[in-house]
Amino acid sequence: MNHENLDSSSDSDEDIQDDGASFTRTKRGVEWCAVDTEKSSISKLKPHVTWPPDPSLLGTNSWRNLRRVRPGNPLYGTKMQLFSKTNYNLAVYADGAVRGTMDDKDLHTHLELISAGHAGHVRIQGCLTKLYVAMDKKGRLYGEPDIMEEGTVFIEDFLGSYNTYLSRKYAHLGWYLGIKKSGAFKRGPKTSYRQKAVQFLPRRSKFE
């Protein structure tokens, strides 16, 4: 699938501001998902995540077990909308576009989280299109029909009331699923932990 035209917007000032805000938090000292806390200045700017985790880190202070996948509310299952902290619902369209929309009634925002085998690892599928949210080598989001494509797997983590989704394929680069203030997806290289763009609130009210 050609993904060249899926991101119609260029990187804006909001990306620079968001990135700058995240860099000011380099001393938070939180180690997660097998974070490699190298002392170089580069590693302090973004969490360096390794997957699979280094077995030598097990049982040490540098290792924190991945959270288990939440089974979801038993009444609602794993179907939900993912509402970003930038005020958009994540949507997956039939043409392969993945972006945000403010239309709560858009059926393309109805998603299902499917376990990807390991605890905390999930695939995000559009209920209407049956396409999976995926990330390509340039950090762009798109709808992928092949469930076996490694780019469809994300590592779910929790940040307060919100969830974050780190691309497993590009975990070593710290690339997250994100939606910008414009509603366009945010490319992986522009994302980092704690940015508003990468935080999503699961909403299940549509599936009562």
3 state SS of 126: strand
Per-residue pLDDT at 3: 54
Q: Give me the mean pLDDT over the 118-125 stretch.
A: 92
Within a domain: 1: no
Q: How confident is the model at residue 204 (pLDDT cuts 50, 70, 90)?
A: confident
For residue 38, give the amino acid letter. Answer: E
Residue 179 pLDDT: 98
The whole-number pLDDT of residue 56 equals 57
**pLDDT class of 118 with cuts at 50, 70, 90:** confident
Residue 200 lies in a domain: yes
CB neighbours of 111 closer than 8 A, spacing ≥ 6? Answer: 79, 80, 81, 82, 90, 92, 124, 125, 126, 127
Q: Is the pTM of this model over 0.85?
A: no
pLDDT value of position 38: 40
Cα(125)–Cα(197) distance, integer angstroms: 20
Looking at residue 94, its pLDDT comes to: 98
3-state class of 43 per DSSP? helix
CA dist 52 and 194 (Å) reads: 23
Assigned domain for 151 exists: yes
Residue 59: phi and psi, rounded to 5, are 80, 5
The whole-number pLDDT of residue 167 equals 97
pLDDT given at position 206 = 77
Count Cβ neighbours within 10 Å for each residue of 166-196 and write b for 16 or more, e otherwise. Answer: bbbbbbebbbbbbbbbbbbbbbbbbbbbbbb
Give the CATH number, domain containing residue 97: 2.80.10.50
Amino acid code (one letter) for 167? S
- Domain hosting 126: range is 13-207
Cα atoms in the 13 Å half-sphere on the side-chain side of 22? 20
Residue 48 inside a domain? The answer is: yes
Answer yes or no: is 198 within a domain. Answer: yes
* 77 — pLDDT class (breaks 50, 70, 90): low
Q: Is the pLDDT of residue 184 over 90?
A: yes
Q: Does any domain span residue 35?
A: yes
Instruction: State pLDDT tens for residues 14-62.
Output: 555 554 444 444 334 333 444 343 443 333 444 445 566 665 554 444 3
Whether residue 2 is contained in a domain is answered as no
**Tens of pLDDT, residues 99-109:** 999 999 999 99
